[in-house]
Amino acid sequence: MGLPGSPASHVEVEDVALRFGRRPVFKDLHCAFPRGQISVVMGASGAGKSTLLRLIGGLQRPDRGHVRVAGEEIAGRGDAALSGIRKQLGMLFQNGALLDSMTIFENVALPLREHENLPEDEVVRRVRARLEAVGLPDVEDLLPRALSGGMLRRAALARAIVMEPAIVLCDEPFSGLDPPNVSRIEALLRDLNRELGLTLIVTSHHMASSLRMADRIFLMRDQACLSGTPLELAQSQDSAIVEFIGEDGAEYLARYASGGEGGP
Ligand SMILES: Nc1ncnc2c1ncn2[C@@H]1O[C@H](COP(=O)(O)OP(=O)(O)OP(=O)(O)O)[C@@H](O)[C@H]1O
Ligand SMILES: [Mg+2]
């Protein structure tokens, strides 16, 4: 449970340590992601953002510590025990490509075919609803190579949400996209959060969009993480945070102070 008045955590990482060979990635990692909110995980390349999502998704075991999803411990559990929890999680992988030889429809339908035994008309209904939700109503018969980068990202997002998960993990959903597509994906994630009440955990290097969309930002550094609202981070006097947030933070504060769009 969260503190009185604050939303309860949906995902908790507690006291996690992890190393790959001799390289420590996390030493004493604690972070709690609130239910129904957008959490954005930031930090330098190699800080462990993707690894954190893999821990939450049960794809990577910690050496020590707890990972709880919807109150259930997943650290150290085997694949069979994890399958129920994984159904609650949608994942958009970093550079997560769709399968080249399958149509967009079949790519999006894949998790349903793997995990559910639904009648075909229900598969069709769900896939179409999700493609519509991401603004791609007319591409179901196309192969991935016929879509632009921004469209592919949206199709991958449709696949991530086709199981109607309560939590969606998105690894770098903005990378490699031009500004209009960044805005489009950002709006889409916000809509999914607002309309479906999804808990979103998004990694990003994109400071401006992170400050705009995040309810909470998690900054990974020194094998641990610190977190706060965008306003708290933009106002921080900590020199490492000031440097990390940079000009975008100052701009965000100025907009917020003037009551403009972009404030919390
Ligand atoms: N399977 C693995 N085996 C060995 N080392 C790994 C493995 N996965 C990640 N690492 C190392 O762990 C560290 C964190 O990697 P991770 O991919 O989580 O970083 P990141 O913050 O997502 O970086 P980026 O912003 O570049 O995506 C890096 O030093 C990486 O080399
Ligand atoms: Mg990464």
Domain boundaries, the chain: 9-88+166-257, 100-164
Alpha carbon 40 to chain centroid, angstroms: 7
Q: Which of 11-15, 85-89, 207-211, 244-248 has the highest mean pLDDT?
A: 11-15
CATH, range 9-88+166-257? 3.40.50.300
The lowest-confidence range among 68-82, 152-166, 183-197 is: 68-82
CB 153 within 8 A of CB 106: no
Q: Per-residue pLDDT for 7 more than 80?
A: no
pLDDT digits (tens, 9 = 90+) for 104-115: 999 999 999 988
Which atom of ligand 1 has the smallest separation from the CA of 172?
27
Q: Which pLDDT band holds residue 3 (cuts at 50, 70, 90)?
A: very low
Any atom of ligand 1 within 6 Å of the Cβ of 24 = no
Token digits for 249? 């933070």
pLDDT digits (tens, 9 = 90+) for 180-226: 888 988 999 999 999 989 999 999 998 888 999 999 999 998 888 99
Nearest ligand, CA 19? 1
Any atom of ligand 1 within 6 Å of the Cβ of 47 = yes
Any atom of ligand 1 within 6 Å of the Cβ of 50 = yes
Nearest ligand, CA 46? 1
Higher pLDDT, 65 or 94: 65
| Mean per-residue pLDDT over the chain, rounded | 90
3-state secondary structure the chain: CCCCCCCCEEEEEEEEEEEECCEEEEEEEEEEEECCCEEEEEECCCCCHHHHHHHHCCCCCCCEEEEEECCEECCCCCHHHHHHHHCCEEEECCCCCCCCCCCHHHHHHHHHHHHCCCCHHHHHHHHHHHHHHCCCCCCCCCCHHHCCHHHHHHHHHHHHCCCCCCEEEEECCCCCCCHHHHHHHHHHHHHHHHHHCCEEEEECCCHHHHHHHCCEEEEEECCEEEEECHHHHHHCCCHHHHHHHHHHHHHHHHHHHCCCECEC
- Backbone angles phi and psi of 147, in degrees to 5: -105, 150
- Backbone angles phi and psi of 8, in degrees to 5: -65, 155
Measured CA to CA, the distance from residue 28 to residue 186 in angstroms comes to 31
Interval between CA 222 and ligand 1 midpoint (Å): 14
- Of the chain, the percentage scoring pLDDT greater than 90 comes to 63
Token digits for 26? 């996390």
Q: Which of 173, 156, 159, 165 is nearest to 209 (CA)?
A: 173
Q: Which pLDDT band holds residue 261 (cuts at 50, 70, 90)?
A: low
pTM value surpassing 0.95: no
pLDDT digits (tens, 9 = 90+) for 39-49: 999 999 999 99
Which atom of ligand 1 has the smallest separation from the CA of 52?
18
